[in-house]
Structure 1
Amino acid sequence: MQPTITIAEANQRVDGYIARAVKVLPPEAKLELHYQEQEGSCSDPTDHGPKNRVIASRSYKVLGLQQKAIPSYFDSLRSWWLANNFRVLDETPRNEFLWVENNADSFQMTLKANPAGGIFLLAGSPCVWRNGTPESQAQSGGDTEDMVAQPPAIPPVTPSPKPAQARRPRRKPVDDIEDFDQTDWTDENTY
């Protein structure tokens, strides 16, 4: 329940990280917005933090780069990220995927390449409070009075299990190759 930056600040920081990373690439690199969340749901299961927080994220397709030079783009961004307080979280397979996280603010970035030569640059914020401060129960839609007044949940009715069907007996495996061609494979009980 600690204060965070606001979602507006998270969006600015995501855009700033993308802008700085693309400057590491050759000047002909152009970004095409592929996907954007300005206030997405914080659903990180490893976070173990309170609900009602949000994230900012962007995904861009990088246009104008040569497919044969993809390994050099990965090397350039890896070096830049490591020199700018990021650590590598995963880079498998090498020169196809590189996922990093900033040591100071936990913002994450990813560089991806696909077999068709498509290159994607992504950035995302950690979970933050919309206004920077933890929301109270009343603000998040949960009222303690409502929670007390609600009756206990009724367990769902589960249908009775179906009777088990008898399994057909299987023919004992044969190790003898000679028997293979003598088996009548049209008989259902042989397999």
Structure 2
Amino acid sequence: MISRKSADSRYIVLIGVAAIIIIAPVFLLSGLGWYFVSTVTEDEATEMAERHIQLAIAELAGEVGSEAAARVDSQECFDPLDYGATGRLAVHASQSIEGLPSRRPEGVVEVIYRYWNANGYQDISDARPEYLAVSARHGEDDFRVSISSNAVGGLTIRASSPCIWPKGTSAPETPWRRAPKPPDYPGHEMTDSARSVSPR
């Protein structure tokens, strides 16, 4: 006859084994850096980047001219700062502002700076007066934005997405390895937008 103490011990052992079976794969996959996570798609990221630019330009109330549409390109996240999976890409959009009839470039940058400061953008970096450049990161979608002078005497607004999966998720049949930790040197954090972003 099995004693109650022995039965309790077996029950505890069974619970422990079940927990190991459930939890161990999670730790294994995390340790190897294999992730099957969702992000916005490349098309969605393109729309979001263009939207960030359009909202900033709208603050100028038609006082300046701009290109008909933002230029957009995508680049692979070779060295993501979140040390996450490789195989992702970042979407970059840019639009030039030209012809500043009523405001000097400094005034335009100040308007955009105030807009970003009041509308959920964080980590605002202001290089003025040495350089006519301001950059920031949106607190919700993690997109990075900037405005700076360009070679033709105008201004350029840029928006970049975090690292995303082109189709919104990594393929289940294709485990992606964790990227190596990037080198630690000053300014590296400004070279890549690499946090994953989930669809809202």
Question: Same fold by TM (over 0.5)?
Answer: yes
Deviation at 1:82, TM superposition (A): 1.5
Match of 2:97 in 1: 62
For residues 32-181 of structure 1, the aligned pairs below 5 Å read 32=67, 35-37=71-73, 39-66=74-101, 69-94=104-129, 96-114=132-150, 117-136=153-172, 138=174
CA–CA distance in structure 2, aligned partners of residues 29 and 113 of structure 1: 14
Q: Is the 8 A contact 1:40 1:56 kept in 2?
A: yes
- The 1:68/1:15 distance shift into structure 2, 3 A limit, reads closer
Shift of residue 138, structure 1, vs aligned partner:
3.5
Cα distance, 1:111–1:44 mapped onto 2, change above 3 Å? farther
Q: Quote the offset at 1:62 in angstroms.
A: 0.6
**Residue by residue, what CA displacement relative to the aligned partner does 1:54-99 show, whole Å, maximum 9, x if unpaired?**
1211111111214962222122111111111002442113460101
Closer, same or farther in 2 for the Cα pair 1:19/1:115, shift >3 Å?
closer
Sequence identity of aligned pairs in percent?
A: 24
- Compare CA radii of gyration and give the structure with the larger one: 1
What value does the CA root-mean-square deviation take over the aligned residues?
2.6
Higher helix share: 2
Relative to structure 1, the CA distance from residue 74 to residue 26 in structure 2 (aligned partners, 3 Å threshold; closer, same or farther) is same
**TM-score, normalised by the number of residues in structure 1:** 0.63
- The separation in 1 between residues aligned to 2:170 and 2:62, in whole angstroms, is 42
Change (3 A) 1:64 1:44: farther
Whole-Å Cα distance in 2 between the matches of residues 24 and 88 of structure 1? 20
The answer for unaligned runs of 5 or more in structure 1 is: 143-191
- 1:101 is aligned with what amino acid? R
Match of 2:44 in 1: 9
1:35, CA displacement in angstroms? 4.3
Shift of 1:109: 0.7
Assess if the C-alpha contact under 8 Å between 1:61 and 1:120 holds in 2.
yes
Deviation for aligned residue 1:28: 3.4
State whether residues 58 and 123 of structure 1, in contact with CA within 8 Å, keep that contact through their aligned partners in structure 2.
yes
Deviates more, 1:91-100 or 1:8-17: 91-100
Q: Taking structure 1 as reference, are residues 117 and 68 closer, same or farther at Cα in structure 2, changes over 3 Å only?
A: farther
Distance in 1 (CA, whole Å) between partners of 2:95 and 2:133 is 14
Q: Is the 8 A contact 1:21 1:77 kept in 2?
A: yes
The 2-side partners of 1:122 and 1:51 are apart by 24
Relative to structure 1, the CA distance from residue 50 to residue 36 in structure 2 (aligned partners, 3 Å threshold; closer, same or farther) is: same
Say if 1:124 and 1:115 are closer, same or farther in 2 by CA, change over 3 A. closer
User: Which 4+ residue blocks in structure 1 deviate beyond 4 angstroms?
Assistant: none
* Separation in 2, partners of 1:67, 1:123: 25
Read off the aligned partner of 1:14 and give its amino acid letter: A
